[in-house]
Amino acid sequence: MFNRTFRTIALLAAAAGPASSPVFSQGPPNLTPPPYGGVTAFVDGIFVTPVPGAPLTAVVEVESTQVLADGSALSKKSFANIARDSQGRIYNERRQMVSPSYAGQPPILSFHIFDPETRQSIFANPATRVARQFILSEPTPRPPTSGEDLGSQVMENVLAHGIRVARTVPAAASGTGKPVTVTDEYWYSDDLHLNMLVKHDDPRTGEQTVSVTRLSRAEPDEAMFKVPAGFKLVDETPEPQNRQN
């Protein structure tokens, strides 16, 4: 094994919050993930890069096993639909984490639409029927992520290359009184500009796995990139500031 610079598109955080913590399948559009921020109260999903010419639809499956104080394990699952059209517009969802025995579909908590040409971002809440839109500024490029090279394998009929990144949280910040090693594994498809599989392991909270399944490279339904009828659209784009000399 050797170290190799490798661009990653998703960052998976540990599920340290309540059992009903939601699953996020999209953050603000950027090309690299933010630095590891420690234990958080949700599980990130797959970041869909808003690039043109690579349409897809898929289902992101999430599994989380949280280690409780008594040493027992608490398992949760969820999924999210994702899509990207030939223009680079993206759609994804945020759904509730549920018990593995739950036979229904986890409820949608919100969904996100982003258009890279106009940089218009819309977050919609089905419960309130409110869609909040704003224009994003250009992202600040982040340096590539480097880690242990894991080679390549085929996932959903596409080639993915893997790296493993390990971070040591100092004893003073770990909450355990001892240093803690947190490990993230990314399997990235250059062809799709997408992580096909992300694994996260934190001894304090357990393991999380996020995987792309049921991949189709056909053009998505146009309706996925439009706010449904009946939603109130609220423009939250900041008003431009006048500069004075």
Sequence ranges of the domains in the chain: 3-217
Higher model confidence: residue 245 or residue 152? 152
Residue 31 has pLDDT above 80, yes or no: no
Residue 119 has pLDDT above 80, yes or no: yes
User: What does the DSSP 8-state code read for residue 138?
Assistant: P
Residue 102 has pLDDT above 60, yes or no: yes
State mean pLDDT over 43-66: 90
Higher model confidence: residue 56 or residue 170? 56
State mean pLDDT over 65-75: 85
Q: Predicted confidence band at 56 (pLDDT cuts at 50, 70, 90)?
A: very high
State mean pLDDT over 54-75: 90
Helix or strand holding residue 74 (H, E): strand 73-84
Closest to 89 in 3D by CA, of 63, 52, 36: 52
Between CA 223 and CA 230 the distance in angstroms is: 14
State mean pLDDT over 70-78: 89
pLDDT of residue 244: 56
State mean pLDDT over 76-82: 94
Q: pTM (2 decimals)?
A: 0.78
115: helix, strand or coil: strand
State mean pLDDT over 118-135: 96
For residue range 236-245, list pLDDT tens digits in order: 988 776 655 5
Alpha helices in the chain (DSSP H): 171-174
Strands 145-155 and 3-6, bridge-based pairing? antiparallel
Residue 16 has pLDDT above 50, yes or no: no
Cβ(41)–Cβ(16) below 8 Å: yes
Protein fold of 3-217: outer membrane lipoprotein receptor (LolB), chain A (2.50.20)
pLDDT of residue 161: 95
Residue identified by tokens 């880690």 is 147
Cβ(194)–Cβ(82) below 8 Å: no
pLDDT of residue 143: 76
